[in-house]
Amino acid sequence: MSTAVASDAVLERVVRDETAHLVATLHRILGDLDVAEEAVADAVVEALRTWRRNGIPDRPGGWLLTAARHNALDRLRRDSRYRDKLALLAGGLTATAPAPAGGQDERLGLIFGCCHPALARPAQLALTLRAVLGLTTAETARASLTSESTIAQRIVRAKRKIVQAGIPVRVPGVDEMTERLDTVLTVVYLAYNEAYLATGGPDPTRRDLGDDAIWLAGVVSSALPREPEALGLLALLSLHHARAASRFDGEGHLILLADQDRTAWDAAAIQAAIRLIERAAALRRPGRYQLQATIAACHAEAPSWAVTDWLQILTLYDLLLRHDPSPVVRLNRAIALAQVEGPARPLAELDTFDAALSSYYLLHATRAQLLRELGRGPEARVADLAALALTGNTAERHLLTERLRA
Amino acid sequence: MKYVLMYTNRPDLDEAVPKERIDQVYGEIFAWFEKNAAAMTDSGAELQEVTTATTVKAGNSGGQPVVVDGPFNEAKEVIGGFSVIDVPDLDAAIELAKSWPSLDFPGVAIEIRPVVDHSGG
């Protein structure tokens, strides 16, 4: 038994490494995701409490399995519907339960189950954070800026639907793979984005959800090495993360890409991500995550904002629009266009955007920037004020306030 | 598992579909039921138009139930028919629904609802 008091970061990593394996194993044995997930989630809470005090045991996976099994037995005993399942658990489990035939990572089926399209997006996200990554309900709530009771209820309802509506917890067939994988990748991307937005800079006291999302993208892409979009997402998130340290100054204020200290970027992580993009490209099935990753790589490799290869970025955005014609992509393309040929045409283009984006603060912040470049100060001010009214994020608000004061 | 597929449509949009296409889709629907016969239980029906619907509901403050003309809600979507199917899981039910011949008609949708299992097993 290790007696050193472990840091929360180490505890969380151990929990993350074990959770999905345990949920998948218990689900395989019991055939009931609700009971399996609940038992593991409670075991995680117990583990965090006990290990913080006593240190991490030598076999943390075994410790968690014993606790989860105990919790599951408890629940099954209380409910007569599960009588026949008690025997399965009483037979005893080992921490190294055999993997299913085919040698595929058993966690993958769990991930596809949590991200089933019959569940609403917020439910997919909450369930994935808890059942796959081992976040506690409190951490899940913090990550999605939602109350704990709302998240708890969301998870209960999602699990109930999986059981009652017969949602399969397994990897989909070849026919469905592209579509279903896209949902999984969207949820992973969303998990990263929530981390990106919810934080005001690195905070050692909080679990790093960005790191969790990259880990999850790694699990998915390792299990599906022939899926280029999974590799693309891992590359994209890695590139964002490699630059994360320079996004904030010492006081937690946001620094724009143009002004960031590029020597603080993680060069090794950037190179590793570029190799991922090349591996994905070799599979010759381009997609939106690969294209976004390639755009991010262009930024990551540029020595400065001024000497960035904006023409290539613009071309990549044109390709991306074919896969993802969303207003956000059009907005980003307009920003690249402004770098290539100046603010006039992109500004005219922003004015054609439909109402869908009018509540997006970045549209107004971008308009303000372009108007300022055209020397239209008063209009720029109005746009900045509109942007300010639309974001609740402290770091973003601070940046806009500074700009308005200048 | 047993599910009910509820075939819904929008009568106000049905008029936009050419008559030949409607005739054609009836043939396709017939073939669809033949092809998926193994998944179908004996329960299911195509319903008469929603203009034939009559609704019985509770009367005000404990009064007698009242009978009214029309469907139970004012939604534009109406249920045109239903099937009870027996398939392994929701994915199988979704696959069936996705192949429904008139799914490309404006306003057509299929709601899938699991059936409560009273067998106690």
Q: Does A176 touch chain B (CB under 8 A)?
A: yes
The verdict on a CB contact (< 8 Å) between A168 and B89 is: yes
Classify residue A79 as exposed, middle or buried by CB count within 10 Å of its CB (0-12, 13-18, 19+): exposed
Cα angle: A392, vertex A398, A401; to 5 degrees:
105
pLDDT reported for residue A265: 94
The verdict on a CB contact (< 8 Å) between B89 and A166 is: yes
- Number of A/B CB contacts below 8 angstroms equals 23
Contacts of A79 in chain B (CB under 8 A): none
Contact between B9 and B107 (Cβ < 8 Å) = yes
Q: Which residue has the tokens 């059942």?
A: A131
Contact between A329 and A321 (Cβ < 8 Å) = yes
Interface test with A, best of B5, B85, B90 (most A CBs within 10 A): B90
Contacts of B1 in chain A (CB under 8 A): 166
* A277 contact partners, CB below 8 Å, separation of at least 6: A231, A232, A235, A290, A293, A294, A297
Specify the DSSP element, H or E, that contains A153: helix A148-164
pLDDT reported for residue A169: 95
Contacts of A172 in chain B (CB under 8 A): 91
Pair of tokens at residue B86? 């027996």
Mean pLDDT by 10 residues, chain A (406 residues): 61 91 92 93 93 90 93 87 70 52 83 97 95 92 86 95 95 93 96 71 66 95 96 97 86 85 94 98 97 97 94 97 91 95 94 78 91 94 91 81 85
**Average pLDDT of chain B, as a whole number:** 90
The verdict on a CB contact (< 8 Å) between B90 and A167 is: yes
B116: closest CA of chain A, how far (Å): 8
pLDDT reported for residue A22: 95
Angstrom distance (rounded) from CA A166 to CA A44: 27
DSSP line for A223-275: H-TT-HHHHHHHHHHHHHHHTGGGGB-TTS-B--GGGS-GGGS-HHHHHHHHH
Angstrom distance (rounded) from CA A136 to CA A142: 10
Residues of chain B with pLDDT under 70: 120-121
CA dihedral (A245, A248, A254, A256) in degrees, to 10, reads -50
**Spatial CA neighbour of A95 closest among A68, A131, A133:** A68
Contacts of B5 in chain A (CB under 8 A): none
Contacts of B3 in chain A (CB under 8 A): 166
Contact between A169 and A33 (Cβ < 8 Å) = yes
Q: Does A31 touch chain B (CB under 8 A)?
A: no
The interface predicted TM-score of the complex, written ipTM, equals: 0.85
> Exposed e or buried b for every residue in B9-30, given b needs 16+ CB within 10 A?
bbeeeeeebeeeeeeebeeebe
pLDDT reported for residue A203: 60
The verdict on a CB contact (< 8 Å) between B114 and A118 is: no
Specify the DSSP element, H or E, that contains B84: strand B78-86
Torsion over CA: A190, A46, A100, A35 (sign): negative
Write phi, then psi, for B78 (nearest 5 degrees): -125, 155
B39: closest CA of chain A, how far (Å): 15
Q: Does A165 touch chain B (CB under 8 A)?
A: yes
Q: Does A160 touch chain B (CB under 8 A)?
A: no
Interface of B with A (CB under 8 A): 1, 3, 88-91, 93-94, 112, 114
Q: Angle, to 10 degrees, between the axis of helix A288-301 and the axis of helix A310-323?
A: 170
A172: closest CA of chain B, how far (Å): 9
* Closest CA in chain A for residue B87: A166
Predicted TM-score (pTM) of the model is: 0.87
Angstrom distance (rounded) from CA A175 to CA B92: 13
Angstrom distance (rounded) from CA A238 to CA A213: 10
Indicate the DSSP class of residue B89.
S
* Closest CA in chain A for residue B4: A165
